[in-house]
Amino acid sequence: MLKKIKRLIRKIISRRGFVLFRKDEQYIIDGLFYSKYLCDAKYSPWLGDQEFLNVHNKIKDYTLVDIYKCYELWQLVEKVNEIKKGVAIIEIGVWRGGSAGIIAKKLSILNSNNKLYLADTFTGVVKASDKDFFYKGGEHKDTTKDIVENLLNETINYKNYEILTGIFPEETSINIPNKESFGLCHIDVDVYDSAKGIVEWIWDKMIIGGMIVFDDYGFESCTGIPKYVEELRSNPNCILIHNLNGHAIIIKIK
């Protein structure tokens, strides 16, 4: 009886976006395995990168992406620029523009003119389904296109970007030239069907060595993302990396 009561309490709490656990406890949400791991690694290279710290201080109130994942995006932009000059970058799920600011600032420092596409509905999460345990649709709608534009124009000052307003790819991919190729795709959409639709649209447009970053892979509230990403693990044309900061990174190899 006690176990049944505990399961009921956990279910009620989890449906409100919280997780109840004991230290080092393992638990299952919607068929996925989670644990409260405490990483002992202390190396923090971002603390020695003053350019990154300067821009992060400006954008940190405009993103839900933590500093660890922001720094990973910062580094990946430079790597993509080394692989192929002029290749486009896209972020889907912009919210208030913080992580977009990280990407744009790095491009600016590199004296790059890479096209940066930023796609968002600005009306919250779309395509939530029964594959997503927590999301119901409409979450994260507390933003506007103007907020993003003001951040990029006044704080970051990178000009070669385009905001695509609407559901991607169904409503807004038409604004991207057919010949465009991509070196980096940052997916921060929280739910299964949205992530799947993005990857299916962009895969053939990714360069060899190009990377798709899933922001929500490691988090209990976004169960649809690890479900979809794990389906990609058997794809022989890519390498999948599970980063303990919560990212999953897919590198296209052929």
Quote the pLDDT of residue 153. Answer: 94
Radius of gyration of the chain (CA): 18
- Residue located via tokens 């534009």: 149
Count of residues making up the chain? 254
Which superfamily, per CATH, for 45-252? Vaccinia Virus protein VP39 (3.40.50.150)
- pLDDT, tens digit only, all 254 positions of the chain: 565 566 566 556 555 555 555 555 788 889 998 887 777 788 999 999 999 999 999 999 999 999 999 999 999 999 999 999 889 999 999 999 999 999 999 999 999 999 999 999 999 999 999 999 999 999 999 999 999 999 999 999 899 999 999 999 999 999 999 999 999 999 999 999 999 999 999 999 999 999 999 999 999 999 999 999 999 999 999 999 999 899 999 999 99
Cβ–Cβ < 8 Å for 95, 150: no
Cβ–Cβ < 8 Å for 178, 163: no
CA atoms within 13 A on the CB side of 93: 23
Element (DSSP H or E) covering residue 179: none
Cβ–Cβ < 8 Å for 86, 182: no
Residue type at position 208: I
Quote the pLDDT of residue 19. Answer: 55
| Helix pair 67-83, 98-109: axis angle to 10 deg | 40
Cβ–Cβ < 8 Å for 191, 224: yes
Q: Which of 90, 95, 113 is nearest to 201 (CA)?
A: 90
Alpha-carbon distance of 241 to 254, in angstroms, equals 16
